[in-house]
């Protein structure tokens, strides 16, 4: 690594570590949110029973009387294996396969909601065949923590990098750097690496603190989780670099970053599962790096997924990072327009 | 003497403005060139093109006979009119940071001594006074031990003591053999520091030469100043220029002018006689109207 790159990374890390108020906020935000949300929703986040349905029939009572059951949310499932895993983890209360006659259904034998749904189903279709599965219910906190850590990474990366670069440009610091042999690529790489180092260290600290407090479920490898966090951070940082590549207004950058972060916050499944959400919402969520980071992190922590299992979200994040970096570097400006 | 920087027919056009419109000059090794001009004359754009930060619309800039290349920024130093640095870093950390960006560097202790930074090396740079800050920025401009240093209005906003102190630093930089390109609004500063001056207006160089030669070329008279009250109501056979509370008399023959004033019965107790200054020349060449 070049001397210039190391100097730039060191300077940026010093700046962040000495900005105590911002650092304290970064360190406290996620744990406070975790504790708050885990307390509020410790009784279970889903107030309505949720049933995944496999088959081409429309989800109406005309197709199957059970589908007209009130207070139960039915949604289409297309990947049976993944759907069965959701029943095992009690992320959904029942899986119903309408392709066979009689229908088949999966419930978790340890789930009270599952038993209740079974009784209701058998009233309308007594011949339905049970495919029992077992598995401990995932606490909401276990499900929530990867989301909140990802959220913390997203906000920290987007705002720390985006705002800082715009401030540097507006104040003339970038112009001063442009007067040195430092190249745009080195500057951007240094910002990315400095932020990545800080993000991994801070997120690692927050994760450890949450783990000590809540004894989080960890089925997979910590190294894989670290990889997901690092790649997710890089994607967010690269996205932020793209936003900040040439604008000089902090107000505009703030607006753009909010425009990016809030849809991700709402539509990436941080607080609640997107299972059962309308199709266009699920399609839209695939455009957000946060969705892929969350999918991978939850798969590692809750399902013990290995690298091969999370290859898709990792690949998507890597491609997004490369795209954002290439676009950002190509339109980067040292000075104000 | 060898030329360090040669500028030929330099132009920078923006959609609605011809910021620089055909500027040519050379800067010789070890010399200090002063770029003077009213606001909007094209000084800053010219210096930014010389620094390699702004691409010219046309024209040529040669550094030691070659067009500017990637190595140019290794060899030049810059102090901008407005410069921000990274927050929370001390003076020492800033110097070390900028030293890390160059291959060739001046030893840190030499830099600190040259710019008198010893007493506040470990202070956050945001807590420095104006003069201290300008000295630190000069040190940053010198971290790579440059052959050529650009100083863009480095003493604007400084008190007279800090300004004079800064002049001494610039003289010591020159004494090391470093070539300096300086822009300033202070004519006294230009007169004292610059070997060569280019006065710019409307994107062009309108006068060029050493301060002494420029004054000799444009003026052969001196200025006699008297309080306006002293002159009021008297018949004086001299051209008078009325300026608020005083009157100026421009005369190539000071003795003859003084004799005429005595003949007119004036008291010369408050008479001031001064040679023409760069400020007189600047006003004469660029006019008196207010520029934005």
B74, B90, B100, best to mutate vs chain A, most A CBs in 10 Å: B100
Q: Strand order of the sheet with strand B3-14?
A: B17-28, B3-14, B58-63, B66-67
Pair A55, A186 in one domain: no
What Å distances lie between residue A310 and A232, A300, A301, B25, CA to CA? 13, 8, 12, 64
Choose the final residue of a domain: A77, A100, A130.
A130
Each residue's pLDDT, cut to its tens digit, for chain B (292 residues) gives 678 999 999 999 999 889 999 999 999 999 999 999 998 899 989 999 999 999 999 999 999 999 999 899 999 999 998 888 998 999 999 999 999 999 999 999 999 998 999 999 999 999 999 899 999 999 999 999 999 999 999 998 888 888 999 999 999 999 999 999 999 989 999 999 999 999 999 999 999 999 999 998 888 888 999 998 888 888 888 888 888 889 999 998 999 999 999 988 888 899 999 988 888 888 888 876 656 5
How far does B284 lie from chain A, in Å, by closest CA? 34
Choose the final residue of a domain: A130, A163, A196.
A130
The answer to whether B69 faces chain A, any CB pair under 8 Å, is: no
Does the structure show a pLDDT above 70 at A34? no
Pair A200, A311 in one domain: yes
A6, A163, A177, A180, best to mutate vs chain B, most B CBs in 10 Å: A180
Pair A157, A191 in one domain: yes
The answer to whether B229 faces chain A, any CB pair under 8 Å, is: no
Structural domains counted in chain A:
2
Nearest CB partner across the interface for B73, out of A14, A179, A334: A179
B88/A15 CB distance under 8 A = yes
> Whole-angstrom Cα distance, residue A177 to residue A174?
5
The answer to whether B283 faces chain A, any CB pair under 8 Å, is: no
Residue A210: which pLDDT band, with cuts at 50, 70 and 90? confident
User: What mean pLDDT is predicted for residues A185-189?
Assistant: 88
Choose the final residue of a domain: A83, A113, A130.
A130
Mean residue pLDDT of chain A comes to 85
A170: closest chain B residue by CA: B84
Pair A149, A250 in one domain: yes
Query: How many angstroms separate the most distant Cα atoms in chain B?
Result: 71
Question: CATH 3.40.50.300 occupies which residues in chain B?
Answer: 3-216
Nearest CB partner across the interface for B98, out of A10, A18, A180: A180
Phi-psi region of A71 (alpha: psi -120 to 50; beta: other; left: phi over 0): left
Of chain A, the percentage scoring pLDDT greater than 90 comes to 26
Pair A166, A214 in one domain: yes
Per-residue model confidence (pLDDT) at position A217: 83
Phi-psi region of B51 (alpha: psi -120 to 50; beta: other; left: phi over 0): alpha
DSSP string, B151-171: EESTTTT--HHHHHHHHHHHH
How far does B167 lie from chain A, in Å, by closest CA? 22
B 169-228 → A contacts, CB under 8 A: none
Question: In this structure, are residues B88 and A12 in contact, taking their beta carbons and an 8 Å threshold?
Answer: no
A334: closest chain B residue by CA: B53
Does the structure show a pLDDT above 80 at A97? yes
Apex CA A306: angle with CA A305 and CA A308, to 5°? 115
Per-residue model confidence (pLDDT) at position A45: 46
Selection from A131, A50, A89 nearest residue A59 by Cα: A50
Given the DSSP bridges, would you call strands B222-227 and B272-275 parallel, antiparallel or unpaired?
A: antiparallel
Per-residue model confidence (pLDDT) at position A56: 84
Pair A191, A297 in one domain: yes
Per-residue model confidence (pLDDT) at position B287: 79
Domain extent at residue A284: 3-40+139-331
User: What mean pLDDT is predicted for residues A95-121?
Assistant: 87
How far does A32 lie from chain B, in Å, by closest CA? 28
Residue A32: which pLDDT band, with cuts at 50, 70 and 90? confident
**Lowest mean pLDDT: which of A137-151, A177-191, B207-221, B231-245?**
A137-151
How far does B70 lie from chain A, in Å, by closest CA? 8
Does the structure show a pLDDT above 60 at A43? no
B85/A176 CB distance under 8 A = yes
pLDDT tens, position by position, B78-112: 999 888 899 899 999 999 999 999 999 999 999 99
- CATH number at A70 reads 3.40.190
A335: closest chain B residue by CA: B53
Pair A169, A223 in one domain: yes
B93/A180 CB distance under 8 A = no
> Whole-angstrom Cα distance, residue B112 to residue B117?
5
A164, A181, A334, best to mutate vs chain B, most B CBs in 10 Å: A181
B74/A178 CB distance under 8 A = no
Nearest CB partner across the interface for B88, out of A18, A168, A182: A18
The answer to whether A15 faces chain B, any CB pair under 8 Å, is: yes
Per-residue model confidence (pLDDT) at position A67: 87
Q: Strand order of the sheet with strand B148-152?
A: B76-79, B148-152, B179-183, B32-36, B196-201, B204-209
Q: Is residue A215 part of a domain?
A: yes
Is the whole-model pTM more than 0.80?
no
B102: closest chain A residue by CA: A181
Pair A277, A314 in one domain: yes
Pair A80, A148 in one domain: no
Q: Is residue A336 part of a domain?
A: no
Pair A100, A149 in one domain: no
Question: In sequence order, what are the beta bridge partners of B35?
Answer: B183, B198
User: What mean pLDDT is predicted for residues A127-146?
Assistant: 80
Query: A41 or B67: which carries more pLDDT confidence?
Result: B67
Fold that domain B3-216 belongs to in CATH: Rossmann fold (3.40.50)
Q: Is residue A337 part of a domain?
A: no
Nearest CB partner across the interface for B100, out of A7, A168, A175: A7
pLDDT tens, position by position, A232-276: 999 999 999 999 998 888 888 888 888 888 888 888 887 777 776
Query: A109 or B133: which carries more pLDDT confidence?
Result: B133
How far does A178 lie from chain B, in Å, by closest CA? 7
Q: What is the DSSP letter of B245?
A: T
Does the structure show a pLDDT above 60 at A46? no
> Whole-angstrom Cα distance, residue B181 to residue B32?
6
What Å distances lie between residue A3 and A10, A293, B97, CA to CA? 11, 32, 10
Name the strand (E) or helix (H) holding B287.
none
């Amino acid at each position: 690594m070049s001397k210039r790159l190391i100097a730039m990374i060191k300077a940026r890390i010093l700046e962040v570590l000495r900005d105590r108020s911002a650092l304290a906020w970064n360190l406290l935000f996620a744990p406070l949110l975790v504790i708050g949300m885990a307390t509020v929703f410790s009784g279970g986040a889903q107030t309505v029973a949720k049933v995944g349905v496999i088959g081409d029939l429309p989800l109406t009572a005309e197709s199957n009387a059970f589908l007209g059951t009130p207070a139960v949310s039915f949604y289409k499932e297309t990947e049976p294996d993944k759907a069965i895993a959701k029943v095992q983890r009690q992320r959904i209360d029942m899986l119903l396969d309408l392709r066979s006659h009689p229908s088949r259904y999966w419930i978790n034998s340890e789930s009270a909601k599952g038993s209740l749904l079974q009784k209701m189903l058998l009233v309308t279709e007594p011949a339905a065949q049970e495919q029992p599965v077992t598995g401990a219910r995932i606490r909401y906190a276990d499900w929530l923590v990867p989301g909140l850590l990802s959220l913390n990474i997203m906000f920290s990366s987007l705002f720390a990098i985006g705002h800082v670069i715009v401030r540097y440009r507006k104040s003339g610091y970038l112009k001063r750097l442009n007067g040195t042999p430092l190249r745009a690529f080195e500057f951007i790489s240094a910002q990315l690496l400095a932020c990545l180092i800080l993000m991994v260290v801070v997120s690692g600290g927050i994760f450890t603190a949450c783990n000590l407090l809540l004894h989080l479920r960890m089925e997979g490898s910590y190294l894989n989780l670290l990889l997901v966090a690092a790649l997710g951070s890089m994607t967010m940082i690269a996205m932020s670099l793209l936003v900040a590549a040439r604008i000089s207004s902090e107000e505009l950058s703030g607006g753009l970053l909010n425009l990016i972060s809030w849809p991700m916050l709402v539509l990436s499944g941080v607080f609640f599962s997107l299972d059962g959400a309308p199709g266009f919402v699920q399609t839209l969520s695939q455009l957000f790096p946060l969705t892929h980071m969350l999918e991978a992190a939850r798969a590692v922590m809750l399902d013990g997924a290995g690298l091969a299992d999370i290859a898709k979200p990792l690949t998507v994040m890597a491609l997004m990072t490369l795209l954002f970096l290439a676009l950002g570097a190509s339109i980067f400006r040292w000075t104000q327009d | 003497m060898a030329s360090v920087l040669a500028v030929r027919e330099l132009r920078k056009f923006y959609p609605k403005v011809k910021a620089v419109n055909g500027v040519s000059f050379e800067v010789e090794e070890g010399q200090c060139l002063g770029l003077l001009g009213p606001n909007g004359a094209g000084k800053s754009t010219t210096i930014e093109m010389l620094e390699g930060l702004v691409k010219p619309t046309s024209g040529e800039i040669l550094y030691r006979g070659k067009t500017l290349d990637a190595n140019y920024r290794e060899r030049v130093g810059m102090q901008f009119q407005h410069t921000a640095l990274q927050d929370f870093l001390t003076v020492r950390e800033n110097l070390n940071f900028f030293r890390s960006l160059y291959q060739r560097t001046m030893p840190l202790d030499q830099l600190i001594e040259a710019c008198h930074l010893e007493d506040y090396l470990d202070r956050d740079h945001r807590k420095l006074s104006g003069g201290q800050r300008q000295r630190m920025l000069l040190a940053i401009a010198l971290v790579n031990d440059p052959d050529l240093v650009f100083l863009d209005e480095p003493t604007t906003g400084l008190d007279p003591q800090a300004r004079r102190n800064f002049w001494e630093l610039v003289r010591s930089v020159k004494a090391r053999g470093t070539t300096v390109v300086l822009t300033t609004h202070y004519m006294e500063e230009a007169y004292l520091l610059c070997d060569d001056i280019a006065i710019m207006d409307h994107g062009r160089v309108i006068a060029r030469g050493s301060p002494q030669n420029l004054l000799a070329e444009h003026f052969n008279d001196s200025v006699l100043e008297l309080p306006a009250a002293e002159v009021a109501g008297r018949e004086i056979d001299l051209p008078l220029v009325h300026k608020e509370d005083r009157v100026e008399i421009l005369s190539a023959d000071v003795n003859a002018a003084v004799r005429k004033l005595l003949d007119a019965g004036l008291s010369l107790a408050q008479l001031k006689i001064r040679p023409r200054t760069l400020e007189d020349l600047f006003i004469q060449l660029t006019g008196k109207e207010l520029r934005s």
